[in-house]
Amino acid sequence: MRPHLWDPWATARTAPRRTAVVAGDESCSFAELTGRADALAGALRARGLPDGAVLSTDIPTGPRFFALVLAALRHGYGLFPVAPELLALPGGPALLTDAGAALHVTAGPPPADGPALPCPAVGDEELLSAPGAPAPAVPRAAGHLVLATSGTTGLPQAVVRTRPARPYKGVAVIERYAAGPDRGPHLMANPTYHLGTLGPALYALQAGSAVVVQRTWSPAGFAELADRYAADSVMLSPDRLTSLVGAGRAPERAFRVVFHGGAACPPGVKRAAIELFGPVLHEYYGTSRSVLTEITTPEWLERPGSVGRPLPGIRVEVTREGRPLPPGEAGEIGIRLRAADRGAAEAPVHATGDVGFLDADGYLFVIGRAGTPQELRAARLEHEVRLLPGVTDAVVLPGSGAPVCFVEHGPACPAPVPAVEASARRLGLPAPRVVPAASGALPRTPSGKIRRAGLSALAGDPAAAGEGPG
């Protein structure tokens, strides 16, 4: 299958009744999806929303959500998906201000006792029922997404991405991504407001594949949906991979590709996932600005722990105090984005906030977050702990004295306390206080990362972290 441009309106013309989105008992065809997207765009224009304005939304993932996304992309608006539980937090509404939201679109009438929002709010059905205007012509610049960071150390932050200069034309359909008019659905098993989970699903939908949404997570439900709809692709955060590996649950029908990213995946978990699903894992690394690197299963097996090489047009730089570092030496990861992905006033190098190193062949290894020399050593310890047998995830908090190391491990593996202590000695760190936990027991963000801000209360009480007898 040679690369070619495609979009949902092309699928609606060639196969109007083809299923586009399924979420529980809700579903729609491509003709219904694109028709609703165009109607929403007309209603937004009739309401006086100017070209380029940003919408925020807490509509649950499903047909109505994706119709609003497509309306924004095709007709020149920004869209900021935000989780309802995030809006309910004291600082949640401020995210809409940071995103520059001019209108909040919700699934129903805004609750009278809900949080005060910094912009007007309207239900999507109310929007469609108002006297509308014809769908506007495609504007001279495309719509764009505004997304949030993961929020591992506190409240997520809105990240405004550069609006593309060229009108929306769909996506390039590439065979390795297992999406297209001749491919099965993409199974979406994670929430939508983060780029790592929304990106693969939106790509599949634009390429011509249906999107099947799993709103309530369980390994058994995942396998059942994958087999019922003959899914060809899926995106799984590392915690979902760990859950499936622990349950030993894979669909009877093999996936063509299993995307994963959004958080570090311990090599032991990834090897088990490769055994479960086959050599179809496709890992990516990026920020809320853009996907930056990718790596296939064969490449990863040669370089366990790597997140791959940069995508075309992107360059990775590893520096310390502005000085480029040689292969194998850890430093701060900076990215030279494509010109189309950054504004004219932006610096050419985007700081990711992560630390890592490149090998001699240009493959990137991410070991943690950037910071002081002490924090860098703690990040290296965290990286080494994830490499230990039986470890399914880890977080190291440097602290003012001895670091605190939270270690999730499988039921058949005892907590590797001596190995953690030995690694700390090699890195010149004081003996850490190790807090063991069962796999999946530590608090997580919706994108699957351990929520570091939620670990302080657990530091002195291993039982609170879910550690059982034995």
CATH number for 407? 3.30.300.30
Is 350 a domain residue? no
Mean pLDDT of 268-291: 90
What does the alpha-carbon distance between residue 104 and residue 56 come to, in Å, rounded to a whole number? 5
Residue that finishes a domain, picked among 311, 339, 367: 311
The DSSP code for 235 is E
Confidence of residue 470 (pLDDT cuts 50, 70, 90): very low
Is 49 a domain residue? yes
pLDDT at residue 459 greater than cutoff 70: no
pLDDT score recorded for residue 141: 76
Q: pLDDT per residue over 288-311, tens digit each?
A: 677 889 999 999 999 999 999 999
The DSSP code for 218 is -
Count helices and strands (H / E) in the chain: 13, 25
Mean pLDDT of 361-386: 84
The DSSP code for 227 is H
What does residue 382 show for φ and ψ, rounded to 5 degrees? -60, -45
Is 354 a domain residue? no
Residues 10 and 156 in one domain: yes
Residues 160 and 296 in one domain: yes
What does the alpha-carbon distance between residue 307 and residue 283 come to, in Å, rounded to a whole number? 6
Residues 304 and 399 in one domain: no
Least confident piece of the model among 207-216, 376-385, 452-461: 452-461
Two tokens, residue 449: 């990362």
Is 318 a domain residue? no
Range of the domain at 406: 382-465
pLDDT score recorded for residue 468: 37
Residues 121 and 39 in one domain: yes
Is 348 a domain residue? no
Residue 120's alpha-carbon distances to 96, 130, 133, 359, in angstroms, are 11, 16, 20, 50
pLDDT score recorded for residue 466: 45
The DSSP code for 206 is H
pLDDT at residue 354 greater than cutoff 80: yes
pLDDT at residue 11 greater than cutoff 90: yes
Residues 418 and 298 in one domain: no
What does the alpha-carbon distance between residue 129 and residue 107 come to, in Å, rounded to a whole number? 13
| CA 21 to chain centroid | 19
What does the alpha-carbon distance between residue 113 and residue 211 come to, in Å, rounded to a whole number? 34
pLDDT at residue 124 greater than cutoff 80: yes
Two tokens, residue 405: 């190391």
Mean pLDDT of 454-463: 62
Average pLDDT over the chain, rounded to whole?
Answer: 86
Is 204 a domain residue? yes
CA nearest 307: which of 296, 319, 317, 320?
296
Residues 414 and 300 in one domain: no
Residues 133 and 247 in one domain: yes
Residues 427 and 285 in one domain: no
CA nearest 123: which of 216, 47, 70?
47
Confidence of residue 274 (pLDDT cuts 50, 70, 90): very high
Residues 45 and 129 in one domain: yes
Q: Which amino acid is at 86?
A: L
Mean pLDDT of 227-233: 97
Residue that finishes a domain, picked among 311, 327, 342: 311
pLDDT score recorded for residue 402: 82
Q: pLDDT per residue over 164-176, tens digit each?
A: 878 888 999 999 9
CATH code for position 72: 3.40.50.12780
Is 222 a domain residue? yes
Confidence of residue 182 (pLDDT cuts 50, 70, 90): very high
Which percentage of the chain shows pLDDT scores above 90? 50
Least confident piece of the model among 148-152, 200-204, 284-288, 412-416: 148-152
Residue that finishes a domain, picked among 281, 311, 341: 311
Two tokens, residue 184: 């099965």
Is 169 a domain residue? yes
pLDDT at residue 140 greater than cutoff 90: no
Domain count for the chain: 2
Two tokens, residue 325: 């570092």
pLDDT score recorded for residue 467: 43
Least confident piece of the model among 218-222, 361-365, 368-372: 368-372
Residues 151 and 258 in one domain: yes
Residues 154 and 262 in one domain: yes
**Using CA atoms in the order 285, 286, 291, 295, what is the torsion angle rounded to 10 degrees?**
-10
Residues 64 and 171 in one domain: yes
pLDDT score recorded for residue 44: 94
pLDDT at residue 48 greater than cutoff 50: yes
